[in-house]
Structure formats: C-alpha cells, structure tokens
Amino acid sequence: MKNLSILLFAWLFTGTVFAQVDRSVLPEPGPAPTIAFDKPATFTLDNGLKVFVVPNDKLPRVSFYLILDRDPLLEGEKAGLTSFVGDMMMAGTESRTKDELDEAVDFIGASLSASSTSLSGSSLKKHQDKILDLMSDVLNNPVFPEDELDKLKKQTLTSIASSKDNPDYLANLISNALVYGKDHPYGEPMTEKTVENVTLEDIREYYKTFFKPNIAYLAMVGDIEETEARKLAESYFASWEKGEVPEFDYAKPELPAENKVALHDRSSAVQSVINVSYPVEMDLENPDFMATRVLNFILGEGFNSRLNGNLRETKGYTYGARSNFGSDRLIARFSANTSVRNAVTDSSVHEILYEIRNIAENGITKEELETAKANLSGRFGRSLENPNTIATFAINTARYGLSDDYYSNYLKRLEALTVEDINAAAEKYMKPENLYITVVGNGSEIKDGLARFGEVELYSNEGDKVQEINLSDVNTTASDVLDQYFAAIGGKDAAAGIHSSKMEMSAEVQGTQLTMFAVHDMENQRMIQKVMMMGNEASKTVLKDGEATVSAMGQSQTLTDEQYEDVKMASLWLIPELYYESMGYTLELDGAAEIEGEAAYKLVVTNPTGGKVINYYSMDSGLKLKSENQISGETTYSDYQEFEGVKIPVTMVLKSPMIPVPLNSKVENLELNVPLSDQDFN
C-alpha cells in the first residue's frame, strides 16, 4: 500500500505540474553568466617579449605559440615574399639541416612550424626542453638555403597556374582588388612575375627587420606553471635581440558610389561564382562588434540564415549561400557568396541584394535574435574547452587594448543585445546600394542579365580591368577569322596537305614526368592518344570506326554517340579548323576577349549534337591562342614553329577537371604525312 500511495502521489504530482507547461513555448532564458576563467600569468622579458602562461594539467603536453604583431605589408613587385618566410626558416639552421630538423621533431613526436608572423611548437611535457631548443634554433639561426627558395617558388608558380582555373579563387582575388585596391596589402595579387622577383636577400631582410621580441607575444599552454615558464622563457628567448620595427599607414578603402559589377568571363563554365562585398570599418574594440556578429549570423552565417533559406531552400538555386562580416584593425569587409547555375545568375544576385536591403530596412525578429544568441553563446562556451582559447584571449587583450573583462563579460554583452540594437547595426552597416558584385562565369550567358545591376566591366585573372573589345563596327565574320588563321599558319592549302601525323610530347605533373603520344589519320578519321607515366600506360583514347573508347587504370569505356562527337570535334584532327565546314559545324563570332593581354576574336563552334568548342584567335597575328571545351577543359597555345610549311604550336597548357594542376606540355617530336596502318590505332 505504501508503494501504491507513492506511485499515486507521483502520478498526481506530475499530472498537476506538467499539465501546466506549454511545450510549444521556449522557456525564458536565465541571466547570462559572467565567465570565470583564470587569467594567464603575464610577464615581459628585458628584450620586450611578452609572455602568457596558461596552465592545464589534464594532459602531459605543452605548446608554445609565438606571434609577431607587425603592420600589414604592401609587397608590391615582390608579392608572395611573406608566403616563403616560414618554410625558409624551417629549411635548416646553422647546426641542423632541414632533414635533421625534421627528424629531431619526429623523433620526440612533436610538431614545429613557422610563418612570416608566427612560430609554434608542441610536445609531450617530458620533451619540452627539446622542442624549445629546436624552436629557438629556428628562431635565431635560420640559414635560408637557395635551393629551398627555388623549390618553393616552383611550387608556388604551379599553384598560381592551377588557381587561375579555380573560379572561387578568381572571384576572391578580383573582389579583393576591387574592395581594397591593388595598392593595398589586402588587395594586391600574387602573380608569376612577383614570385619570380623574390630573392634570397629579400627573405633575409624580412627576417632581420620583423623578427624582433619587442613586437612579439609568446603563449605557453599546457602542463606548465608560472615559475617554470619564467625559467624556460629566460633560458630560450632572453638572448633574442630587440630592434626597431617599421610601421605603415594605408589609405582607407572607400565604398563605391553605386553598385559596380565585375565579370571574369570563363566561357567553359557551367556555373557562376558570385561574390558581393564592400569595405567596412570593424574591429574588436568597436562598440558595434557584437551586434554585427548577431546580424551576420541571421543574414548569412547559419544554415537557417536568410540567404541560405532564400537561395537554397526556397529558390533551389544553390547548395549553399553564406555571408561574412569581417573584423580587422586596418580595414575589414562584408561579403556574401554563392555558386549557382548560369541560368539563374542574375536572379541569385537579385535575391542577395534583396536580403541585404530587407534586413537593412525592415530589421530582424525577436525569434531570430534569440536563435542567434543561443548559437553564438554555445559556440563561445565550447571554445573555452580549449586552453589555447584562453591564451588567445590574453594576447588579444594586450594587442588590441581591450578591457580586462572583455571576454569574461562576453555572454553578458551578447545577452544584453536587443532587436533595436541589431536593427540599428543593420541600418548602419548594410550597404545595398554600395556593393562590388563580382561574378566568375560564362559571359555570353550571364552578362546581359547582370547589366540590370549596373554597367558590367570585365576583369582579368589578375584582378585588372580589361578593355572590352566592341566588334559592332567591324565587318569581320567567322569565316574571315578562320581565313586569317589559315594565312597565319602558312595557308589553307598547305594545312590541307597534312594527311597524317605522329607527335610525342613531354610534361610534368607535381614532379612526375609524363610522355604523351598522339597519332592522327585525317583521311580515315582515326586518332589515338596515349599518356605514359614512369614507363606505364596511364590512359588511352582511341577514335576509329565512328566510336570513341577511353581506357585508364585497367578500365575501358566506350563513349556515347554524343560524347564521341564532342571528342571528335576537339581532338580528331591536328588542325580541326580545316574540317568544320565538311562536318556541318556551325560557327558564330561571339565578340572578342583579352587572352593573356592579347586581343582575340571569340569563335563558338557547335557540332550537330549541340557540343561546343570555343576558340580564341589573335586579332594581331591571327594565330589560335586558346580553346575551351566543357569536357576537356582549356588549352592555351604558344611558341608556333614551322613544320613542312605549316606553323604548329609546340607549347600547350591544358587545364582540365581531370587533373589537379595545369599540364604544361612541350612537343618533342612531330612527324607529318607519315604512313599509318591499323596497328597504329590498336
């Protein structure tokens, strides 16, 4: 009976109490807490190095983070210099080669890395003296070997060439140039030329100038106490000599007077990358900093943000749309980004501008505010689980002159924000009429639609404005362009006299040597291409008897009729222009473009199944400069040399979705009008 009474009481209690709770309404949040965390011990060495100690004995590990607080640098004709500094410092010291340094780090299971503004090491507690010895050796005694710089420059040049085929990279590069200006540290691009300009003496001079303790902060985090940290800092960093470090001032980028549209034309693109941005003054000390974090979360940071909800969920234009509200002592920027189909490019820009304008004019709701607060406070709380966060807070407080309670009262300041505060920030910082709208995509399909947002200006892959070439007053036709091309290579009759060819080419991909063989039989419409890697066949493409077969990695596939027609149009002939008419291809002169600084006619070639190849022919020389195809990618042609009276390019750069980096190939041997047999195409 007693148990029954207890059960009955419990049933009555729960039924009475919980019946009064409306589960459709979120409970009122409690007051935001003051975050209590131990402030790091702080001291300064005689050379000016500021040290912060964050004890955490949960694991027997220690980490050391050194940060240089210098002004941003305008590298100009040597843009890219700072990207080499860290790797060059890690390339060996006066007492250790690069291999010896790497082996010493690996032997104790540690990590050690450097950049132009930092040096960090981490290890088990028992190896802390060893990692500090290595760290101080790199800091004080780098030797900067010439061969390492040569290797890094070569890798960087390959990366730049590859990036020029990355629409996200291009959109960001052009946007930076527009928002900040190319004469600003945040807007200058790194190019092949500026990388080549960097010398070993430049690296040494940067190191001598900026690696000074009086602008540095050192955080010691992990299983370590203040007394021990003082001894370690004195032992390994007190001899580091201080010195004068130059400071720099830059003009503040200004908002555009009206919306500006920048287009980088990629004719082979099936998607458009959109970047909407503008400069904004915002840093940690700004009283509106917290409000802009909430504002951005609602507009475009969270998955349920307005931008993502509109473009992804409602319209189905994209897989994701995001915005970012930066923070920087010098200058920050706001940006909104997405990638969409060509057909909905202008509609997507319209929706982005609508959301920016709508939040500026009509503000947010209380529900949006509470959701943003919950997410941001949770993110802040989770970050405190990492002791490195506490070190970052301490360094930020010192670097930026923040109040001592800046981070401990973070949640209180967040909770105190009202709808009115966020609306005021939206009205102040959202600029729907002062935007740089950058789009990378197929100009033929998207340019006219983008014109509704302002005059569309063309930009190169280095962020320079391109002079648009107007052909409206030129009486040139597609046939005229081909006639000029034939004349440039030695005449149509001479070109038509080539019936067969055997070609051998060499290339290199990330250090791996490739050899490519191609055999063309123009009379019988046969072609075979082989790619050999380290003596083994990596891939093979065969066109014969009206079929195309592609083989790679032991697998073989016969292409569809439509794919066959596309491959035939792009690859069957050594000089495909000779066969456009007989194959029933249609030609359209689609304006002009600038190719690597050279004005060129843009010719669109379409086969009967709808496949397209876009060729660019120099207005000056008449030679073909580039071809684009959605299947094979982009190929640029240069270094034309004469073979049996016909000029043929012997240097080609292929950018394909099938390979990770551009393929720079060189013709090593070319034989024309050679006898061929069926065996050549097996």
* For residues 552-557, average pLDDT: 84
Between 462 and 16, the more confident residue is 462
Which residue carries 């509109």 as its tokens?
A: 310
Query: Strands, E, within 468-533: which ranges?
Result: 500-509, 512-521, 526-533
Percent of the chain with pLDDT strictly greater than 70: 93
CB count within 10 Å of CB 453 equals 19
Q: Tokens representing 100? A: 């010896």
All domains of the chain in start order, with CATH:
41-167+189-237 (3.30.830.10), 260-391+398-466 (3.30.830.10), 478-681 (2.50.20.10)
- pLDDT at position 576 is 93
* More confident: 420 or 163: 420
Q: Label each residue of 310-362 as H, E or C.
A: HHHHHCCCCCCEEEEECCEEEEEEEEEEEEEEHHHHHHHHHHHHHHHHHHHHH
In the structure encoding, which two tokens stand for residue 297, read together?
Answer: 């979360």
Q: Which of 618, 628, 624 is nearest to 637 (CA)?
A: 624
Burial of 452 (0-12, 13-18, 19+ CB in 10 A): exposed
Mean pLDDT throughout 122-140? 97
> Which stretch of 282-296, 427-441, 574-588 has the lowest confidence by average pLDDT?
574-588
Average pLDDT score over residue span 192-216: 97
Neighbours of 207 (CB within 10 A): 16
Q: Tell me the C-alpha to C-alpha distance, in Å, between residue 395 and each of 285, 286, 389, 405, 411.
A: 14, 18, 10, 14, 20
Residue from 306, 139, 298, 289 nearest 210 by CA: 139
Q: What is the pLDDT of residue 14?
A: 36
CB proximity list for 668: less than 8 A, separation 6 or greater? 504, 505, 506
pLDDT at residue number 25: 56
CB–CB of 545/681 below 8 Å? Answer: no
Return the structure tokens found at 70: 């210098």
State the first-to-last Cα distance of the chain, in angstroms, to the nearest integer: 93
Q: Are 662 and 655 in contact (CB under 8 A)?
A: yes
Q: What is the pLDDT of residues 307-333, one digit of tens each?
A: 999 999 999 999 999 999 999 999 999
Looking at residue 33, its pLDDT comes to 57
Residue 36 binned pLDDT confidence (cut-offs 50, 70, 90): low
Comparing 278 with 11, which gets the higher pLDDT? 278
Report, as an integer, the average pLDDT of 621-644. Answer: 90
Which band of pLDDT confidence, cut at 50, 70 and 90, is reported for residue 535?
A: confident
Residue 17 pLDDT more than 60?
no
Strands 50-55 and 271-282: unpaired
Given a cut of 90, whether residue 180 has pLDDT beyond it is yes
345: left (phi over 0), alpha (psi -120 to 50) or beta: alpha
- Contact yes or no for 323/301 (Cβ under 8 A): yes
Nearest Cα residue to 92 out of 107, 63, 114: 114
How high is the mean pLDDT of the chain? Answer: 90
Which pLDDT belongs to residue 133? 97
pLDDT in the model for residue 30: 53
The per-residue pLDDT for range 411-437, each reduced to its tens digit, is: 999 999 999 999 999 999 999 999 999
Pairing mode, if any, of strands 50-55 and 216-222? parallel
Mean pLDDT value across residues 639-645: 95
Amino acid, res. 568: K
pLDDT at 582 over 70: yes
Does the pLDDT of residue 657 top 80, yes or no?
A: no
Number of DSSP helices (H) and strands (E) in the chain, helices first: 20, 26
